[in-house]
Amino acid sequence: MRLAFRSVALFNVATALWLSVMFLILRHPGYALNAVMTLGIAAVCVLAFVAGRIGAASWMRAGGLGASLVLGAGGVWAIYQNLQPGAHFEGFILIIGATWIVQAATALATLARLTTRVGSAA
Convert 66-103 into a string of H (helix), E (strand) and C (coil): HHHHHHHHHHHHHHHHHCCCCCCCCHHHHHHHHHHHHH
Q: What is the pLDDT of residues 70-112, one digit of tens each?
A: 999 999 999 999 999 999 899 999 999 999 999 999 999 988 7
- Residue 35 domain boundaries: 2-121
Q: What is the pLDDT of residues 13-49, one digit of tens each?
A: 999 999 999 999 999 998 999 999 999 999 999 999 9
pTM for the whole structure: 0.84
Residues ≥6 apart with Cβ < 8 Å to 73? 104
Q: What is the pLDDT of residues 40-63, one digit of tens each?
A: 999 999 999 998 888 888 888 899
Total domains in the chain come to 1
Q: Give how far Cα 103 sits from Cα of 33, 38, 76, 77, Å.
A: 24, 16, 12, 15
